Amino acid sequence: MQDSLSQNLSLLCSYYPSIAEVCRKLEFNRQQFNKYLAGSARPSRHNMRRICDFFGVSEAELLLDAPQFEDIVAIKRKPVQQEALSKPLRHLDRLYQRSQSLEKYLGYYYRYFYSFGNPGKVIRSLALVYKEGEKYYWKNIEVLRDPETDRSWGLNKYEGVLFFLADRIYIMEYESVAMNSITQATLYPSHRSRLDILMGIQTGGPTRRGRKPGASKVALEYLGRDINVRAALKRTGLFNPETGPIRPEILRLIENRMEEQTFVLDVDEP
C-alpha cells in the first residue's frame, strides 16, 4: 500500500508526460524511482533534496498526508488571474514598444555554448526565432545524446521572448517542461548583409546537478528560415570539443577564458 510520500510523488509526476521524463530530468535510475512511487523504498536525504528542488516543494510539504498535499499543489498550480498579470505584462509591453524590428533574424539557428552541467562539453541545440503579430518569440530544444551511440538521455525545451534595444538583442527564456530555470542572453546584432554568426553572453545554470549560477559565451549560427528540422535536430547534442564535430572557429568564439587583470566575462563584437 502506498504511503503519503509515494502518493504525493505520484501526484507530482502526473503533471509530466511520463515517469521516464521525470527520471531523465532528475537523472534518477528508473527502477529506483519506481520503488519510491510504490512506497517500497524512501529517498536518501540527498535525493529527497533533489526531488524537492525539482518539483518546487519543501520536504515538510512532501511528507504531508496526501489530501493536504493535494490542496497545497492545487493552490500552487492555480492559474493566475488576469488582474494579477497586468503589472508584469505592462513591463513587457513597455519593452516591446521600444524594441526595434527583428525581421532580419527570423529563422533557425544552432546554439553553441559550453555546458553548465557537463564540464568541458559543448552543447549544440536547435533554436528558432519567430514572429506572432508584432512580437518576436524564441524556442530552443536541447537534446542531450551520446555522440558515439546516438542514444538520447536528456531533453530540455525552452521558450521565451526577444527584444532589440539600443543595438543589442536580448533573449529571455525559461525551461518549459520542468519550469524551473530562466536564462538571459545578450547578443550583438549583425551589421552584415548576410546573416551568419551572432555572438553574446548568457547567464543561467544547469537544470540539474547543483544548479550553480554561471555565465558563458554563446554563439548562434544562422541556418535559414526553411530547413529540414528533423535532420537539424539529429545533429544536436553534447560534444567533446576535441573529438566532436564542432568547427574550430565556433570553439574559438565560445571559449570562456578570461585574460589576466580582467574581472568580468565579456565578449568582443565579431
How far is CA 17 from its chain centroid?
17
Q: What is the largest CA-CA distance in the chain?
A: 66
pLDDT at 1: 42
Residue pair 62/50 in contact (Cβ under 8 Å)? The answer is no
Is the pLDDT confidence value at 208 over 80? no
Q: Is the pLDDT of residue 184 over 70?
A: yes
Cell numbers describing residue 32: 529506483
Is 60 exceeded by the pLDDT of residue 177? yes
Strand partners, 210: none
How does pLDDT run across 12-51, given as a tens digit for each residue?
A: 998 888 898 889 888 899 999 999 999 899 999 889 988 9
What confidence tens digit (pLDDT) does each residue in 83-111 have?
666 778 888 888 999 999 999 999 999 99
Every domain of the chain and the residues it spans: 4-76, 84-254
- Exposed, middle or buried, 87 (CB in 10 Å: 0-12/13-18/19+)? exposed
Quick one: pLDDT at residue 83? 62
Set of cell numbers at residue 180: 524551473
> Within 10 A of 15 (CB to CB), how many other CB atoms are there?
11
Looking at CATH, the fold of the domain delimited by 4-76 is given as: 434 Repressor (Amino-terminal Domain) (1.10.260)
Distance CA 106, CA 162 (A): 11
Annotate the chain with DSSP letters as a single string: ---HHHHHHHHHHTTSS-HHHHHHHHT--HHHHHHHHHTSS---HHHHHHHHHHHT--HHHHTS-HHHHHHHHHHHTSPPPHHHHHHHHHHHHHHHHHPPP-GGG-EEEEEEEE-SSSTT-EEEEEEEEEEETTEEEEEEEEEEE-TTT--EEEEEEEEEEEEEETTEEEEEEEETTT---EEEEEEPPP-SSS--EEEEEEEE--SSTT---EEEEEEEEEEESS--HHHHHHT-EEE-TTTSS--HHHHHHH-----TT--S------
CA distance linking residue 185 with residue 162, whole number of Å = 10
Instruction: Say yes or no to pLDDT of 158 above 80.
Output: yes
The dotted CATH code for 84-254 is: 2.40.128
Higher pLDDT, 93 or 220: 220
